[in-house]
A = this chain, B = another copy of it.
Amino acid sequence: MTEFIPPATRWHTLPSPFAMKRGGELRDARMAYETWGTLNAARDNAVLIVTGLSPDAHAASNEGNPEPGWWDAMVGPGKPIDTDRWFVICVNSLGSCKGSTGPASVNPATGTRYGLAFPELSVEDGANAAFEVVKSLGVDTLACLVGNSMGGMVALAYLLLHPDSARAHINISGSARALPFSIAIRSLQREAIRLDPNWNHGDYDDDTQYPEAGMRMARKLGVITYRSALEWDGRFGRVRLDSDRREDEEPFGLEFEVESYLEGHARRFVRHFDPNCYLYLSRSMDWFDLAEYGDGDVEAGLRRIRVDRALAIGVKTDILFPLQQQEEVADGLRAAGADTEFLPLPSPQGHDAFLVDIARFGPAVRNFLSSL
């Protein structure tokens, strides 16, 4: 399977072997990352961004790649994550197919891609790999660690496993553990891929046998859970497609705008993300549970994290990482001694609001970073 690597990507080779939490190890693995701004002489102005499941390291345009990034409105000179002040690093997740080593990468031991021979991937592995990138850039302590969605899990693991690695933390639509509704959704997404005969137990072969039907289903189900019914009521209502965009000859074909919206998302995703990478990253979220570090108690796990300041932001319309989970993070970090703010936002856009509701997320992130 092709990897999808943006042009400004830089790489850091991980220590070899790189031990994985659940067993096994990687050799000669690498992490893809990009940076913005300049590390100051005191090396105390670094901000690391860890991402959701699918983004690459290109969070925003930069010298190497003027194309807008996935968080372009948030990262740049004068923007909420102000690159005139901060040295910003964004890593592509370990296990992804967008530059960092993952199941779509070639296994140096065999000369063929890993596929399902890739060791079991946990959120903690991604955190440890991101930590190595930061260390390689000469940063001992981050000014702030920002994690969105899955990245909110990665960030908490990073902080817990690497004491004194950051002074502040912004957890956006993240959580300290996976709960059954989101596990059910992700399990179904994975099942859609696994049921596709072209998946072939992970042994598909580039373009000829890509599990397109499974990936379409997985992506559409993802998009349904990334947004909210409230947003869609206003955005789509019951509007139907114009007749020239209808599939009237196709039994049960597309008819409503909302169906076409999902179709567009599926088309842009399918063949641009590796199915095995999707499966590995998805499962890593199900496994994540900070209670493992707190004798079965998630708050006790959170209490092992040491940061000076924390901000947990969530959205009332989020059905995938519901607001109580960000409140749980805030309560735990506060109990751990951090000066912590919990900020519930009334964004209608659901889990993905941090990508689109910049009017609310921009000031929230800007104000917190400005106060550091």
Contacts and interface: CB of A to CB of B under 8 A. Distances in A.
Interface of A: 116, 177-185, 187-188, 190-192, 194-195, 197, 201-202, 213, 216-217, 220-221, 224, 228-229, 232-233, 235-238, 251-252, 254-259, 262, 279, 283, 286, 289, 291, 319, 322
Closest 6 CB pairs of A and B: A181-B229, A180-B258, A180-B232, A180-B236, A195-B213, A187-B259
A179 B237 contact: yes
A183 B240 CA distance: 12
A229 B194 contact: no
A179 B224 contact: no
Contacts of A322: 229
A258 to B, nearest CB: 4
A184 B258 contact: yes
Given A188-B221, A262-B188, A286-B256, A233 B180 contact: yes
A286 B191 CA distance: 26
Given A217-B195, A232-B179, A187 B262 contact: yes
Contact of A191 (B184, B217, B283): B217
Nearest to A236: B180
Contacts of A202: 251
Contacts of A224: 181, 184-185, 188
A235 B183 CA distance: 14
18 contacts: A179-B233, A180-B233, A180-B235, A180-B238, A181-B224, A181-B233, A183-B256, A184-B220, A184-B224, A184-B232, A184-B258, A187-B256, A187-B259, A188-B220, A194-B251, A195-B213, A252-B283, A319-B319
A83 to B, nearest CB: 37
A251 B187 contact: no
Contact of A259 (B183, B220, B221, B291): B183
Contacts of A188: 217, 220-221, 224, 262
B192 A217 contact: yes
Contacts of A256: 180, 183, 187, 286
A211 B109 CA distance: 40
Contacts of A197: 197
A239 to B, nearest CB: 9
